[in-house]
């Protein structure tokens, strides 16, 4: 097993790539803190992990709130005695919106949940990792933070920030043997995906047409699966990537070429 005796905290693991990662990391031997703002789906992930013989607890947290983030780190360490892997995966999308119609609140919320969350989690996890003599931090950015699409500027700017923050953290924390990397998924077939097309999340004719346009921009000719992100994160979480830090791994079917 690739994560034997490791403790991993995964935000946004009530759904999509976070859930796939919780199941995969537990399968590889990690004890997992499943963190989400949604109690029901978070608990479902714990049940899925336990149903496959793994170990997990659910911790409710809004990753944009300092008190919640401090608590999720504390509860993990109180329960499992340490924190080896912090996977900042929670995020929110936005639907295609011309820049002049983007509400200030949407911009602020997007940055709070997609970027400030990484800062907050590091603020509370890094002292523990420094004391432990090392650790691993993984962030979920996006290929849109590398190669933009029109109409998604709040979201793509937040993901560009996550990529640069990954590099800044990597250089700052390398002396403490804390590696920091990010994954850059392309459009992925998770519950989030329809919300890039319309705020309703409806899977109607507009959705089908937009989905085809997304796929047309992906050389491998399909959306990513949640497991693709999970396997990329597993590589960063394991010792196989022990000499890799500050890297953004494009899980993008060739989109960035």
Residues forming contacts to ligand NAD in the complex (CB under 6 A) are 11-12, 14-18, 36-38, 41, 61-64, 89-92, 113, 140, 142, 185, 187-188, 190-193
Element (H, E) at 32: strand 31-36
Q: 41 vs 166, which CB is nearer to ligand NAD? A: 41
| Among 80, 124, 155, 195, the one annotated catalytic | 155
Q: 58 vs 80, which CB is nearer to ligand NAD? A: 58
Compute the least distance from the CB of residue 145 to ligand NAD, in Å. 9
Q: 132 vs 164, which CB is nearer to ligand NAD? A: 164
171 CB neighbour count, 10 Å cutoff: 11
Compute the least distance from the CB of residue 257 to ligand NAD, in Å. 17
Q: 6 vs 159, which CB is nearer to ligand NAD? A: 159
Q: Is 207 considered catalytic here? A: no
Compute the least distance from the CB of residue 32 to ligand NAD, in Å. 14
The residue number whose beta carbon is nearest to ligand NAD equals 16
Would you say 153 and 176 are in contact if contact means Cβ atoms under 8 Å apart? Answer: no
Compute the least distance from the CB of residue 231 to ligand NAD, in Å. 14
Distance (Å, rounded) from C-alpha 11 to C-alpha 140?
10
- Dihedral pair phi/psi, residue 85, rounded to 5°: -130, 120
Would you say 167 and 245 are in contact if contact means Cβ atoms under 8 Å apart? Answer: no
Q: Where are the beta strands (DSSP E) in 50-201?
A: 55-60, 85-88, 135-140, 178-185
Q: Which candidate, 192, 181, 225, places its Cα nearest to that of 21?
A: 225
Residues belonging to the active site: 155
């Amino acid at each position: 097993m690739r994560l034997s005796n490791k403790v991993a905290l995964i935000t946004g693991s009530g759904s999509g790539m976070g859930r796939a990662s919780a199941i995969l990391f537990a399968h590889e031997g990690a004890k997992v803190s499943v963190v989400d703002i949604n109690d029901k789906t978070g608990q479902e992930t714990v049940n899925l992990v336990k149903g496959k013989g793994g170990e997990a607890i659910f911790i409710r947290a809004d990753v944009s709130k300092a008190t919640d983030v401090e608590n999720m780190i504390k509860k993990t360490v109180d329960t499992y005695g340490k924190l080896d892997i912090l996977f900042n995966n929670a995020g929110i999308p936005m639907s295609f919106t011309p820049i002049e119609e983007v509400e200030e609140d949407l911009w602020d919320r997007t940055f709070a949940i997609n970027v400030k969350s990484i800062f907050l989690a590091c603020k509370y996890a890094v002292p523990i990792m420094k004391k432990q003599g090392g650790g691993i931090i993984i962030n979920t950015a996006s290929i849109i933070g590398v190669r933009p699409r029109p109409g998604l500027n709040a979201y793509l700017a937040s993901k560009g920030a996550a990529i640069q923050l990954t590099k800044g953290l990597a250089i700052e924390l390398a002396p403490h043997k804390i590696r920091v990397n990010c994954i850059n998924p392309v459009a992925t077939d998770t519950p989030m995906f329809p919300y890039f097309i319309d705020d309703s999340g409806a899977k109607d004719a507009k959705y089908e047409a937009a989905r085809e346009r997304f796929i047309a921009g992906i050389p491998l000719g399909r959306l990513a699966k949640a497991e693709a992100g999970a396997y990329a994160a597993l590589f960063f979480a394991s010792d196989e990537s022990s000499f890799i830090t500050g890297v953004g791994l494009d899980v993008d079917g060739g989109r960035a070429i």
